[in-house]
Structure 1
Amino acid sequence: MDFFKQAVASAISKGPPFPYTWGDRLEDQGVWQLYNGTRREDGSDCSIFSFDVTANKNNLPMARNAVRKLRTIRHPGVITYLDSVETDSYIYVATERLVPLRWHVKRKSLSPETLKWGLFSIAQTIKFINDDASSVHGALRVGSLYTSESGEWKLGGFEVLSSMKDDDAVIYNYGSLVPEAGRYTPPELAKSGWSDIKRHPISAVDAYNFGTLIFEVFNGDFTGGEQAGQTKNIPPSMHSSYRRLVNSNPKARLSVGHFLEQGHRSGGFFETPLIKLTETVDNLGMKTEEEREEFLSDLEQLSDDFPEDYFRMKVLPELLKSVEFGGGGPKVFAVVMKISKKLSDDEFELKVTPAVIRLFSSPDRAIRVCLLDNLTLMIDRLPQKVVNDKIFPQMVTGFTDVAPVVREQTVKAVLTIIGKLSDRTINGELLKYLAKTSNDEQPGIRTNTTICLGKISKNLGVGTRSKVLIAAFTRSLRDPFVHARNAALMALAVTLDAFNEDDCANKILPALCSCLIDKEKIIRDQANKTMDAYLQRVRKYASSMPDTVLPPPSAIETSNSNNPRMSTPQSSEPASWTGWAISSFTNKVSAAAGEIQSTANDSVAPASRPNSAPLTSELRRPAPGTASASALHRQAVATPTALSARTSTSSNAQDYFQDSNPAEDDMIAWGEMEEESFFEAPSEAIAKTSTSSTVNPFQDDGEPDFAGWLAAQQKKPGAGKPLPKGLAKPAANGGRPVTAGRAATTGSVGGAGAKKAAVTTAKPKPLVAKKIDTAPKATDEDDGWGDGW
């Protein structure tokens, strides 16, 4: 094979220039050898017929006749001539790329409908040769037929094609020299020779050969004249006309033209969708609306076993023209997508992609919706740069289209193209448009937007993913449309991994709670499933957390070893929710100055104790290293005498714990708790509270003002009555508390006049308790993304 190629190249170099490159050798076709080739100018495919003059001098007239007829005859059913060159040693003819029909027939790779379509094309070509050109082909058989790149059947084998007007026609002398002529020669010429053609109708020879061709394509081979007229495997609708073609009487034979007419009659064997399409596709743009609808209905009836190459090469370009310029509409484009499935990626990019880009800029909403519906069929064929830079900018107009169907289809199409968009496009322009559709007036569009966000969550940027999804889904949970709420719940379930544990606990779980009592059962059920998933996630995380983040007590004692000890735990019992109360209570007792005085007031009935007040045994002490604010204050204002007296009265502390009236001690403990809150204010204000004239003990939103209450008690008639236990001020004389009655009689504070003067002095402003705002701080955690949702 290589030697032959080198010989051919050497012969070409010595002869006229032939601008084609030789490829593989296929097979012998009559007097020719067939090769694949390519045109050097543009690299396009072609076929090359080669004739060796030196080895086949006897057949040289036939080769020259074939070149001459091929060059002059122009018909869609004839192989396309490109170029030829002739020298003393060879003849080369370049044509369109061809494949011998014999290959398909032997493999039986063609469906009956395709065989009918091919026979119809050859019948039209033979009719043209017989009727219009007044010529006889003389060598019609499977070996003289080819299929083009488009799958169409093309007629060749013009070695003896002759005009009956030519007295010196080649067919008279060389008709019997054509390879394999003996099997296909009509019976009348087999008896008397090819020179008797003039005595019979022009169409007689080709009609007989067309009949043998019908038998051959349906059965695979024709062995001789004894098979002529047999109907094995031939469609029944063709039997009658087929028999008339191979009639032994040449004058009684049905011409190929009449055979064509019979097949075209209503209900005839050539009335097939594929043949109708062939006749219509070339001038589809000129058809009326009714004719176009009929054409499309025929297209929909076509099955997958019809010739792919024909649709790819001939039908597809015409359909694209019709969609763009001829008003073909979405129905035609749907057929385009059906055909383009069988295109290679290079063919799709060359033929379909440019048209798709142009169609996305079309203002026709029907075309736009059709494009969006068919994106799944072509997205894998479209390059990422084309989708991101050319198609998506045209596509985004659908998000704001006035037609709801366009907006909805655009949202659905996001799932198809998301893999071809850049991160910048997704986290920028796309999210802005999805924020708009999440607030759409159509509930279905809002629902689909939520579903879309759930499915593209992994494509969102890590920095904005959780913020966008939480804002979108929690908003959809409040949507009045039940399916929108359900979509949000399902989206939250499938995007669980997109959120951290803090978001799950602080943002998502609270939002899910309201859905647990939704009016719709479908929402309640889905909310329980979603909440279980999040609770499992949070619980798993919580189980891995430490029991506490506070430092151990030993570390605190070590760090505070140089500081005065403020309080110590009074119990080794396990920590409980009452432990802080016990610790605080004992710290206050240890910090109290002076001696607890047992007076006549002990007989006074204690005030009724609230049911909610904890018992002394249930109180808990504060953490080590802490001290109550009241104790610190007393130490700061205590006189040296009171401080020195503390050591002398330490023995009385035990009497305090053994008091016979524990209810009063309970009240003192709760009072001390409330007193601590007052010391959050500056010390100057605290010092003035003892002289406050406020009579409302819960003036500041229920905050007890014990100093005001104490002053009010002193003003009442019978103020000499001793105060309740624990409220008497410590005196400077020995550290003993002095009641109001004792101050009046002993004159330690100047008698009654001095007492009145002290009460009527300038009244300081009452202390306003510090209010604590328990409302959560407004934080802008979504960085602006939440505003869009």
Structure 2
Amino acid sequence: MEFLKSAVASAVSRGPAFGYSFGDRVDLDDSIWALHNGTKKDDGSKCSIFAFDVNANKSRLPLAKNALRKWRTLRHPGVVRVLDTLETDTNIYVATERVVPLGWHVKRGALNTETIKWGLYTISTTMRFVNEDASSIHGNLRVSSVYTTESGEWKLAGFEVLSSLKEEDPAIYTYGGLLPDSTRYAAPEIGRGGWDGLKNQAIHVTDSWNMGTLIYEIFNGYFSTADQLSQTKSIPAPMTTPYKRLTQTNPKMRLPISHFLEQGKRSNGFFDTPLIRCSEFIENMGVKDDREREEFLQNLEDTKDQFPEEFFKAKVLPELLKSVEYGGGGPKVFSVVLMIAEKLSEDEWESTITPCVVRLFSSPDRAIRVFLLDNLPRMIEHLPKRTVSDHIFPQLVTGFSDVAPIVREQTVKSILIIIDKLSDRQINGDLLKYLAKTQNDEQPGIRTNTTICLGKIAKNLGQHTRAKVLAAAFTRSLRDPFVHARNAALMALAATAECFDETDCATKCLPAICVGLIDKEKIIRIQAQKTMDVFLARVKTLTANMPDTALPPVDSNGVPTSAAAAAAAPRMGTPQSDASWAGWAISSFTKKLGTVAGEIQTPTPGAPTPAEETLSPPQAISRPGSSIQRPPAPTPEKSKLMIDDDDDLDAWGDMDDTPKPPPPPPQPEEEEDVINSFANKSKPSLPKGLGKKPAAAVAAKKPVVRKTVKKAVKVEDDAWGNDNWDVDWK
């Protein structure tokens, strides 16, 4: 074997350039050719190479030259396709599509009846073309002249004595006896009168006889004498009578192959099978109407188990993909594509199906888009992560803004399938922007599914993004008028409770959940109670290890035990017990709003002076219908969120979009009324030192009272959770 390879390679190197490389040799019976597996040098594609050694077979050189000439000119789908040829003084090479000898399958008994019928139908169609359209005699029709392609189709070769009756000197009359084992396969009239005897016979007689021998060998194995051909035990019953007419010893009674073909194609004939109908339809799919295409696809799904796997992969699949992309096949055709693709390897999937899926996601056809989204679970495992993030996701997100609700809804659902193949920046950036819009969609089902989606992808969100987005999204859904949206929010909160710290649990989540306890719908009340229990347990767990108090330790006299604690203590009387201190703070706040709360701040440039504050009426601090605008002081945590590149939180807005009513204006104190009444009355002057203080002095002291009231109002407002999230959701 190695010696033969070296000899072939050496012969090629000495001759003209041949663009194909030789591989392993394939055994052939009854052939003048040596068959090799090969590859094309340019692109590495597979091929087969038929090689003829001139020096080793000089007597049969006319057969090889006749085959080469006929192979170059004969074009038919049922003929082995020629890629290139090379003829030198020492060798003849014919490069063809990759094929396997049919004899391999016959020897192993690997052919089922349906596949054999399909193959015989193809060979019969090709032979009808040879006999009638080309007016030629093949003369060498046998198992060794038939090959199978990668798609499982049977193709015809063996053109050593192919002759046209229009030629002056047909090769079959002169060289027919040079064929290997020609005596065993020769028709009876050739045995009696030689190959020249065919001149007085119909053009089909020898090929019809060989068609009969081909059928016998496929079903029963090789024969040694013509007497064995009368045994039809393994040949299908519907084919028995036509077979007997093909093997008639009287050439005038012999059935032409074209008639054999017509009998098989009749209704309920031996060639009227689902596999043959499928093959015929695939060949002409581009000219079929929608009704015929739908009927074909339905039959294909029902009979898919009867067809060879190679036929689906190499023959049906490429035609269906063309129909989907260019022939308007639509979702129905693509469903069959996915059915066939289940049997493909990963390499075959990536080279065949993945490019088509990427192109289809950019299609404007909504039916195709919805079908792709519905069937993503069947495809996602075969799609590389980079393909999804770079090519599919940018096209998929356009569905969030589609005018058709079904497209928006299916797009939201698809996120759960592709989330693991997206980058962190895509998840925490673009994706959250689109989900923020769909949570405010006009369709309640889309809002509900968005909430469910957020709950399920919570683990994929960034650490700094997760808590704020989930709290804002779920608490918004708790106010949704659609009952299932509220229920989904409660369930999502329960499922993502671990994402919230103790502060969020107590100040954001629990207050929002409490509203559900008195919901008009029972299912909401029940789910709210379950979610409440989850968060109470969560808070209990988070606070289990917290210290009993944050106050500094004191001695028996209420004095801090450390200098640092003493320096940090406020300049006021330290209460003797926690209860008395708390009671004092509450009673002081309720009795006198003028008590100083917080720390005195240094006036900033542009701020009103104490005199201006004194001269302003109390309503200047808080008037009905207005609210004090204060820029929020960002906490360190929020500042960190704002500079995080992976977070895009502003689109989620405030937890509570409902505007809060302004606090009622504080009532003027009795002391202020007395001062104002004296200011409006004229009094006689008193001796120096005993008169009323000038208005400037009063104005100088007044800001302390007004400053205190303003600070007290601020503490009360902040205590109700105004987080300064007043961002427009839209």
TM-score per shorter chain, which class? 0.7 to 0.9
Aligned twin of 2:229 = 228
User: Structure 1 residues 770-779 or 445-454, which shifts more?
Assistant: 770-779
551-560 or 91-100: which moved more? 551-560
- Corresponding position: 1:681 with 2:583: no
Instruction: Note closer, same or farther for the CA distance 1:223–1:483 as it changes in structure 2 (3 Å cut).
Output: farther
- Please report how far the alpha carbon of residue 262 of structure 1 lies from its aligned counterpart in structure 2 after TM superposition: 1.2
CA spacing shift, 1:481–1:136, aligned 2, 3 Å: same
The corresponding residue for 1:471 is 472
Q: Identify the range of structure 1 (356-365 vs 465-474) with the bigger mean alpha-carbon deviation.
A: 356-365
| 1:27 counterpart residue number | 27
**Separation (CA, whole Å) in 1 of partners of 2:590 and 2:132:** 121
Question: 2:134, 2:290 → 1: CA distance?
Answer: 37
Q: Which has the larger displacement, 432-441 or 320-329? A: 320-329
How far apart are residue 79 of structure 1 and its match?
0.8
User: 1:587 maps to what in 2?
Assistant: none
User: Does structure 1 retain, via aligned residues, the 8 Å contact 2:189–2:251?
Assistant: yes
Q: Which residue of 2 aligns with 1:602?
A: none
Structure 2 letter corresponding to 1:253: R
Q: What's the offset of the Cα at 1:76?
A: 1.0
Inter-partner Cα distance in structure 1 for 2:107 and 2:537: 68
Contact 1:36 1:46 (C-alpha < 8 Å) held by counterparts: yes
1:389-408 to 2 correspondence within 5 Å? Answer: 389-408=390-409
Question: Residues 232-311 of structure 1: matches in 2 within 5 Å?
Answer: 232-311=233-312
1:78 deviates by: 0.7
| Distance in 2 of aligned mates of 1:432 and 1:565 | 51
Larger mean Cα displacement after TM superposition, 45-54 or 202-211 = 202-211
1:18 partner letter = F
Alignment-derived partner of residue 558 in structure 1: 561
The separation in 2 between residues aligned to 1:502 and 1:227, in whole angstroms, is 94
- State how 1:405-484 maps to structure 2 within 5 Å: 405-484=406-485
**CA deviation vs aligned residue, 1:202-257 (integer Å, no higher than 9, x gap):** 32322232233334334565565454354445444333323332334333232211
C-alpha distance in structure 2 between counterparts of 1:436 and 1:73, whole Å: 64
* Contact 1:135–1:163, Cα closer than 8 Å, also in 2: yes
Shift of 1:775: 4.3
Q: CA deviation at 1:71?
A: 1.6
Aligned residues: 627
User: Matches of 1:63 and 1:494 in 2, distance apart?
Assistant: 77
Query: SS where residue 550 of structure 1 aligns?
Result: coil
Change beyond 3 A, Cα 1:546–1:121? same
String of CA shifts for 1:602-644, please: whole Å, max 9, x gaps: xxxxxxxxxxxxxxxxxxxx69xxx989xxxxxxxxxxxxxxx
Identify which range, 187-196 or 396-405, moves more after superposition: 187-196
When residues 81 and 519 of structure 1 are mapped into structure 2, their CA distance, relative to the original with a 3 A threshold, is: same
Find the aligned partners of 1:778 and 1:183 in 2 and give their Cα distance: 104
Judged with a 3 Å threshold, the aligned counterparts in structure 2 of structure 1 residues 676 and 90 are, in CA distance, closer, same or farther, namely closer
Going from structure 1 to structure 2, the CA distance change for 1:681 and 1:467 (only over 3 Å counts) comes to closer
- Bigger drift between 82-91 and 177-186 goes to 177-186
CA contact (8 A) 1:135 1:161 kept: yes
Indicate how the Cα distance of structure 1 residues 580 and 351 shifts in structure 2: closer, same or farther if over 3 A, else same.
Answer: closer
SS at match of 2:463: coil
The structure-2 alpha-carbon separation of the partners of 1:550 and 1:185, relative to structure 1 and needing over 3 Å to count, comes to farther
**Cα distance in 2 for residues equivalent to 1:384 and 1:265:** 52
Q: Which residue of 1 aligns with 2:127?
A: 126
Report the Cα distance in structure 1 between the residues aligned to 2:430 and 2:724, rounded to whole angstroms: 18
Distance 1:674 1:322, change over 3 A: closer
Is contact 1:674–1:704 with CA below 8 Å preserved after alignment?
no
Aligned-pair CA distance for 1:190:
4.6
Structure 2: which amino acid aligns with 1:788? W
8 Å Cα contact 1:184-1:224 kept in structure 2: no
Residue identity matched to 1:26? V
Worse-superposed segment, 4-13 or 520-529: 520-529
Q: Deviations over 1:179-222 (max 9, x none)?
A: 34455444454555444334443323222322333343345655
How far the C-alpha of 1:121 sits from its partner, in A, is: 1.0
Q: CA deviation at 1:158?
A: 1.6
- What CA distance in whole angstroms lies between the structure 1 residues aligned with 2:63 and 2:574? 126
* Cα distance in 2 between the residues matched to 1:420 and 1:386: 9
Work out the CA distance in 2 between the residues paired with 1:628 and 1:479.
Answer: 42
Give the distance between the partners of 2:590 and 2:44, measured in 1 at CA.
96
SS at match of 1:228: helix
1: CA distance, partners of 2:589 / 2:11: 119
Distance 1:562 1:172 in 2: 125
Q: 1:580 to 1:526 in 2, by over 3 A?
A: closer
CA change 1:526–1:244 in 2 (3 A) is farther
Q: How far 1:34 sits from its partner (Å)?
A: 0.8
User: Which secondary structure state, in structure 2, belongs to the residue aligned with residue 392 of structure 1?
Assistant: helix
Q: 1:628 to 1:466 in 2, by over 3 A?
A: closer
Q: Distance in 2 between matches of 1:135 and 1:160?
A: 10
Q: 1:741 aligns to what?
A: none
Letter in 1 for 2:56: A
Residue 464 of structure 2: SS of its match in structure 1? coil
Q: Is the 8 A contact 2:28 2:101 kept in 1?
A: no
Specify the alignment match of 1:3 in structure 2: 3
Secondary structure of the 1:788 match is coil
Deviations 1:525-556 (A, max 9, x none): 44444333333332222223233333333595
CA contact (8 A) 1:516 1:527 kept: yes
Query: Which residues in structure 2 correspond to 1:129-168 (within 5 Å)?
Result: 129-166=130-167, 168=169
Query: What amino acid does structure 1 have at the position aligned with 2:729?
Result: G
Displacement of 1:169 in angstroms is 3.8
What residue in structure 2 maps to residue 788 of structure 1? Answer: 729
- Tell me: CA distance 1:220–1:93, structure 2 relative to 1, closer, same or farther (3 Å): same
Q: Which secondary structure state, in structure 2, belongs to the residue aligned with residue 139 of structure 1?
A: coil
- How far residue 75 of structure 1 moved from its aligned partner, in angstroms, is 1.1
Does the Cα contact within 8 Å between 1:468 and 1:782 map onto a contact in 2?
no
Distance 1:416 1:682, change over 3 A: closer
Q: For residues 781 and 228 of structure 1, do their structure 2 counterparts lie closer, same or farther at Cα, with a shift above 3 Å needed?
A: farther
Tell me the equivalent position of 2:13.
Answer: 13
* Aligned-partner SS, 1:94: strand
Query: How far, CA to CA, are the matches of 2:158 and 2:318 in structure 1?
Result: 30
Query: Deviations for 1:681-737, whole angstroms, at most 9, x for unmatched residues?
Result: 379xxxxxxxxxxxxxxxx9999999x9xxxxxxxxxxxxxxxxxxxxxxxxxxxxx
Tell whether the 8 Å contact from 2:245 to 2:254 is kept in structure 1 after alignment. yes
Matched residue, 1:662: none
TM-score by length of 2: 0.75
Shift of 1:287: 2.8
1:105 partner amino acid: V
CA distance 1:123–1:444, change in 2 (3 Å): same
Assess, with a 3 A threshold, how the Cα gap between structure 1 residues 517 and 118 changes in structure 2: closer, same or farther: farther
* Structure 1 pair 509–251 and aligned structure 2 pair: CA distance change class (3 A): farther
Q: How does 1:318-333 map to 2 (within 5 A)?
A: 318-333=319-334
Whether the 8 Å contact between 2:498 and 2:538 is mirrored in structure 1 is no
Cα drift, residue 258 of structure 1: 0.8
- 1:334 maps to which residue? 335
SS of the aligned residue for 1:402 comes to coil
Residues 467 and 782 of structure 1 are in contact (CA less than 8 Å); yes or no, is this contact kept in structure 2? no
Q: Which residue of 1 aligns with 2:52?
A: 51
Q: Please state whether the residue corresponding to 2:95 is helix, strand or coil.
A: strand
Most deviating of 161-170 and 479-488:
161-170
- TM-score scaled by length of structure 1: 0.70
- CA radius of gyration, larger in: 1
Contact 2:81–2:96, Cα closer than 8 Å, also in 1: yes
SS of alignment partner, residue 38 of structure 1: strand
1:133 to 1:375, Cα distance in 2 relative to 1, 3 A:
same
Paired residues of 2:552 and 2:560 also in contact (CA < 8 A): no
Paired residues of 2:23 and 2:39 also in contact (CA < 8 A): yes
Instruction: Please say if residues 513 and 528 of structure 2, whose CA atoms lie closer than 8 Å, have aligned partners that are also in contact.
Output: yes
Could you tell me which runs of 5 or more consecutive residues in structure 1 were left unpaired when the two chains were aligned.
570-578, 585-621, 630-669, 684-699, 709-757, 759-763
Please give the alpha-carbon distance, in whole angstroms, between the structure 1 residues aligned to 2:468 and 2:566: 49
Contact persistence 1:432–1:788 (CA under 8 A): no
- Counterparts of 1:41 and 1:487, CA distance in 2: 59
